[in-house]
Chain A
């Protein structure tokens, strides 16, 4: 509740040299959905996250941005319990992660990791979302089939269930894996680079689906590389480069100093008509 009081009447005043802020008052209700408390993790002797503290509130929509190897995917995997924290702790609704708490989190991996030659249809992939109930016997019942069809309709996949996943457009492929995550009725969905490799139309489809899901109260955390896309579509961003550099509204934290700290490189930031646009500084400009 301290966070709530702290934010009241303050809007988005900077709490840190780089603007590490708490989310807007409207989304701060009770205890955080997920809380990382001074979390560090590593791959062998290589540190991946250092002392990261972050709160994800119910209904929040967050983009995590940062360089390759900056710990974005590691952060998602740490929340999922796939990578153990070497220091600190991850809390889900105030409780330490356990197997049943995982049922409240949906995960959509990078599409690059998918074997597109695997003989599987869109409907078969989405149906995997039922498996997190840990059932060993029985097929998909009448009620579950109806739920499956509802989710497919919601994601504009009606009539595409029998298609091989490779025969779908990039946006539809992303929707299939999103559908799988949604079947478990999660409170939080983590998506690893959901727009990677997609054209503008498909990216538009993806953000449309994500906003629609978010409006139904599901918190969403995505990792992304395209800062302009994040600034245009998402209300909250976290800059990460092994440690948490800044978090806040993209329009406020996407500034030259934060981006330099995050990416270790110069970037040009434009503000126009309430929008923020980020450009790369030409190499010659350094000289």
Chain B
């Protein structure tokens, strides 16, 4: 059984490359998401996009355009509300994202004809990715990568020590807004592939695994996207041969890797001469 057999199918090729690119992107931005304790924002934004995706479908708009505008609006609202001292970030996300998700559900309940598309939005439709979709995902990913690389120093400072960063002249407010915008764009690019319910996992699990392997931030930024891309690739193969939902398999692959690593750590903790893994 050759590993190249699945590549004879165009749907697999498109899906495979999309999974690898999105896996790497989610793994990269996920490092900041986890360290800034924004996992809930990633989760929330994907749910918010659901409202935009449904609206796009009803209004016959391009998914990336309609859901994209919706995602940016949601990101901006979350940023705005969470920066008011009297409302916590978690509450702000709860208000914006659940409202948006509820709007999507409400529209779906009045248009029962597009159940299949809604299922794709919720759980991903990686095997339905067209060549054009793939290019859009690649371009969005490149743009987000470049933007994150450009602001990486300021972003690191603002993530590690936000108060001092502002005293050193880093515009933490602008950096936060830019980051949440990039996060919204990442979620948008990933939603078609992984679905709104699974995007957050792709952003959280690879950096958490990478955290066990390195204590150096710069290395984390390399290891995490490699893990994300690898889980994307492995998940696609497993999905093909086991005939299980691709998005679910990708997430489960990374989850199994995490569980295995956690077991290794637990075993080594009992071993006084444990080395190599970080248990912080």
A contact residues vs B (CB 8 Å cutoff): 77, 80-82, 99, 102-103, 105, 107, 109, 113-121, 124-125, 128-132, 134-137, 162, 164, 166, 184
CB of B170 within 8 A of CB of A131, answer yes
Within 8 A of A (CB), among B131-169: 150-151, 153-154, 156-157, 160-161, 163-169
Is the CB–CB distance between A120 and B160 below 8 Å?
Answer: yes
- Complex formed: what's the CA distance from A184 to B165 in Å? 13
Query: Which residues on the B side are within 8 Å of A99 (C-beta)?
Result: 169
- B-side interface size class: 20 to 34
Q: Which of B167, B215, B217 contacts A80 (CB 8 A)?
A: B167
Query: Are B169 and A162 within 8 A (Cβ)?
Result: no
Q: B215 and A82: CB pair below 8 A?
A: no
- Closest CB in chain A relative to B158 CB, distance in Å: 10
Q: Return the chain B residue nearest A124 by Cβ.
A: B217
Closest residue of A by beta carbon distance from B153? A131
Instruction: Tell me if B216 and A132 are in contact (CB < 8 A).
Output: no
Cβ contact within 8 Å between A109 and B164:
yes
- The answer on a CB contact under 8 Å between A131 and B168 is yes
CB of B275 to closest CB in A, whole Å:
14
Do the beta carbons of B168 and A124 come within 8 Å of each other? no
Chain A hits for B215, CB < 8 A? 119-121, 164
**Taking the nearest CB of chain B, how far is it from the CB of A281, in angstroms?**
37
* Contact for B151 among A129, A136, A164, CB less than 8 A: A136
Known: A82-B163, A109-B161, A119-B211. A184 touches B218 (CB 8 A): no
Chain A residues positioned under 8 Å from B163 (CB to CB): 82, 109, 113
In the assembled complex, 11 residue pairs joining A and B whose CB atoms fall closer than 8 Å, in A order, are A80-B167, A82-B166, A82-B167, A113-B163, A118-B217, A119-B211, A119-B280, A131-B165, A134-B169, A164-B215, A184-B168
B260 contacts A by Cβ under 8 Å: no
Least CB separation from A99: chain B residue? B169
Chain B minimum-CB-distance residue to A100? B169
Task: Report the minimal beta-carbon distance from B182 to chain A, rounded to whole angstroms.
Answer: 15
**Minimal beta-carbon separation of A92 from chain B (angstroms):** 13
Of all chain A residues, the one with the shortest Cβ separation from B159 is: A118
Contact status of A131 and B211, CB under 8 A, knowing A120-B217, A124-B217 = no
Chain B nearest CB from A205 CB (Å) reads: 22
Shortest CB–CB separation between residue B76 and chain A, in angstroms? 22
The reply on B220 being an interface residue by CB < 8 A is yes
B6 to chain A minimum Cβ distance, whole angstroms, is 36
Annotate B209-236 by CB proximity to A: 1 below 8 A, 0 otherwise. 0010011111010000000000000000
- What residues on A are CB-neighbors of B153 within 8 Å? 128, 130-131, 135-136
Given contacts A128-B156, A128-B160, A137-B150, contact A121 B217 (CB under 8 A): yes
Q: Please, how many angstroms separate the alpha-carbon atoms of A262 and B52 in the complex?
A: 59
Top 8 A-B pairs, shortest CB-CB distance: A164-B215, A132-B168, A117-B280, A80-B167, A120-B217, A107-B167, A128-B157, A119-B215
B35 interface residue (CB < 8 Å to A): yes
Query: In the bound complex, do residue B151 and residue A102 qualify as a contact, i.e. CB atoms below 8 Å apart?
Result: no
Nearest CB in chain B to that of A162: its residue: B216
A134 to B171, CA, bound (A): 9
* Interfacial chain A residues near B168, Cβ < 8 Å: 102, 107, 128-129, 131-132, 184
Chain B residues closer than 8 Å to A121, beta-carbon distance = 215-217
The complex places the Cα of A74 from the Cα of B210 at a distance, in Å, of 38
Chain A residues with CB under 8 A of B218? 124
The smallest C-beta distance from A123 to any residue of chain B, in angstroms, reads 9
Option from A77, A114, A136 in Cβ contact (under 8 Å) with B161: A114
Q: Which of B11-67 contact A (CB under 8 A)?
A: 35
Q: Given A118-B35, A119-B211, A128-B157, do A107 and B164 touch, yes or no (CB 8 Å)?
A: yes
Q: Please determine whether B160 and A115 come into contact, CB atoms closer than 8 angstroms.
A: yes
* Apart from the given pairs A81-B167, A124-B216, 11 other A-B contacts in the complex at a CB distance below 8 Å: A109-B161, A109-B164, A113-B163, A119-B211, A119-B216, A121-B217, A124-B217, A128-B157, A128-B161, A131-B154, A164-B215
